[in-house]
């Protein structure tokens, strides 16, 4: 299975100096670096390690840049890889072996946390063992901040985190709406879990493979959220609502309606008492709802009969 490792740089040449060699060393893969209108030496770093470069003349969102990279890629499988994520040797062989199984559309690796790009910056703490959407429709990282030795068994997961996840090309193409694999209205946060949700609606499974190991300097997580700018927190809050509006149906929701309603009441209480700036996220979600509904019509028309995403599914420690 031919594979493209798709890396995005937003003035991240210094990170690519560390992560790109590890990606280029994976056997049987071509590396494509998306230069998102970078003003640094991204193109020089990519060329030094034999990577192809897609240069975007205008800075666009994360989702739009990754979509451009997917169109420009050539592999039967595509590894979405952040510039701040370093692959261990043997990563791709382990992940690709799982992707070749029938019905598997994506592979979520074991991702361990790091505070920087040096080997000395690596922690003995798990970043994620895949993503989960619980029955309240709250998405999260499996095993985040738990000991790195946990989650050592291969298992099914809801989906893989966008920092490092391997997809079949045919799954990405089937999930695309209006030519967009990642929903560009979401811009950034939750665009990965939204994609995983759509893949589930089409009947594809995700497998967590602990032998595929990577190290990641995470920008946004439950443990870093408080330090993020308000605009990022509002976008994340808004995108959860849009994701539900696009992907959920009454048949999916009715068994979880009490859980969802309670969570929404508690979330609103939190907003009113602790983060009033998030009130704008409700307005923003309302304004984006017509476009989400148009996308919804396409997504639901393609849905596999009787497909119901396994909310709450997560690998066990």
Summarised one tens digit per residue, pLDDT across range 247-256 is 999 989 999 9
pLDDT of residue 227: 72
Q: What is the pLDDT of residue 221?
A: 64
Query: In DSSP terms, which residues pair with 128 in a beta bridge?
Result: 111
- pLDDT at 223 (0 to 100): 67
DSSP-derived secondary structure for 155-216: EEESB--TTEEEEEHHHHHHH-BTTBSS-TTT-STTHHHHHHHHHHHTT-EEEEEEEEEEEE
| Residue 317 DSSP class | -
Give the pLDDT of residue 256. Answer: 94
Residue 36 main-chain phi, psi, to 5 deg: -85, 70
Extract the tokens encoding 199. 């893949």
pLDDT digits (tens, 9 = 90+) for 82-99: 999 999 999 999 999 999
DSSP 8-state class, residue 282: H
| pLDDT in the model for residue 205 | 95
Q: In whole angstroms, how far apart are CA 94 and each of 87, 120, 209, 220, 253?
A: 12, 25, 7, 27, 36
On whether the CB atoms of residues 18 and 94 are closer than 8 A, the answer is no
Q: Which two tokens stand for residue 197?
A: 């949700």
* 290: helix, strand or coil: helix
- The number of domains in the chain is 1
Residue 129 backbone phi and psi in degrees, to 5: -115, 45
Q: Are strands 52-56 and 85-87 parallel, antiparallel or unpaired?
A: unpaired
- Which neighbouring-strand residues pair with 159? 131
Instruction: CATH number of the domain at 280, please.
Output: 3.90.550.10
Closest CA to 98 of 21, 41, 157: 157
Q: What is the mean pLDDT of the chain?
A: 93
Strands 131-133 and 52-56: unpaired
Per DSSP, the three-state class of 129 is coil
Q: What is the structure's pLDDT at 102?
A: 92
Question: What digits encode the pLDDT tens for the residues 218-245?
Answer: 876 666 777 778 888 898 999 999 999 9
The residue-averaged pLDDT of 286-314 equals 92
* Average pLDDT of span 69-81: 96
- pLDDT value of position 222: 67
CA-CA distance, 65 to 60, in Å (whole number)?
A: 6
pLDDT for the residue 213 = 97
Using one digit for the tens of pLDDT, what is the confidence trace for 101-125?
Answer: 999 999 999 999 999 998 999 999 9
Q: Over 70: is that where the pLDDT of 206 sits?
A: yes
Please say whether the beta carbons of 147 and 188 come within 8 A: no
The range of the structural domain enclosing residue 36 comes to 1-317
User: Which pLDDT tens digit goes with each residue over 120-153?
Assistant: 999 999 999 999 999 999 999 999 999 999 999 9
- DSSP string covering 105-123: EEEEEEEEEESSSSGGGEE
């Amino acid at each position: 299975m031919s594979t493209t490792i798709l890396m995005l740089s937003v003035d991240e040449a210094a990170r690519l100096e560390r992560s790109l060699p590890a990606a280029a060393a994976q056997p049987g893969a071509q590396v494509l670096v998306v230069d998102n209108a970078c003003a640094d030496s991204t193109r020089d770093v990519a060329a030094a390690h034999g990577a192809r470069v897609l240069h975007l003349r205008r800075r666009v969102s994360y989702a739009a840049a990754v979509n451009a990279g997917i169109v420009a890629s050539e592999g039967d499988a595509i590894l979405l890889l952040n510039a701040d994520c370093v692959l261990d040797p043997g990563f791709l062989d382990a992940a690709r072996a799982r992707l070749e199984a029938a019905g598997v559309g994506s592979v979520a690796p074991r991702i361990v946390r790091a505070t920087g790009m040096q080997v000395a910056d690596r922690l003995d703490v798990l970043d994620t063992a895949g993503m989960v959407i619980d029955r309240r429709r709250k998405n999260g990282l499996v095993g985040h901040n738990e000991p790195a030795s946990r989650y050592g068994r291969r298992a099914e997961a809801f989906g893989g985190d966008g920092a490092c996840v391997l997809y079949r090309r045919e799954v990405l193409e089937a999930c695309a709406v209006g030519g967009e694999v990642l929903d560009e209205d979401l811009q950034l946060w939750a665009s990965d879990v939204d994609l995983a949700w759509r893949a589930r609606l089409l009947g594809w499974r995700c497998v967590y493979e602990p032998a595929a190991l990577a190290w990641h300097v995470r920008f946004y997580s439950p443990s870093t959220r408080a330090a993020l700018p308000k605009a990022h927190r509002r976008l994340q809050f808004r995108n959860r609502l849009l994701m539900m509006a696009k992907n959920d149906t009454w048949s999916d929701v009715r068994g979880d309606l009490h859980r969802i309603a309670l969570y929404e009441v508690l979330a609103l209480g939190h907003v009113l008492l602790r983060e009033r700036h998030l009130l704008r996220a409700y307005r923003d979600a309302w304004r984006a709802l017509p476009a989400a509904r148009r996308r919804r019509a396409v997504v639901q028309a393609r849905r596999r009969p009787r497909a119901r995403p396994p909310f709450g599914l997560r690998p066990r420690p």
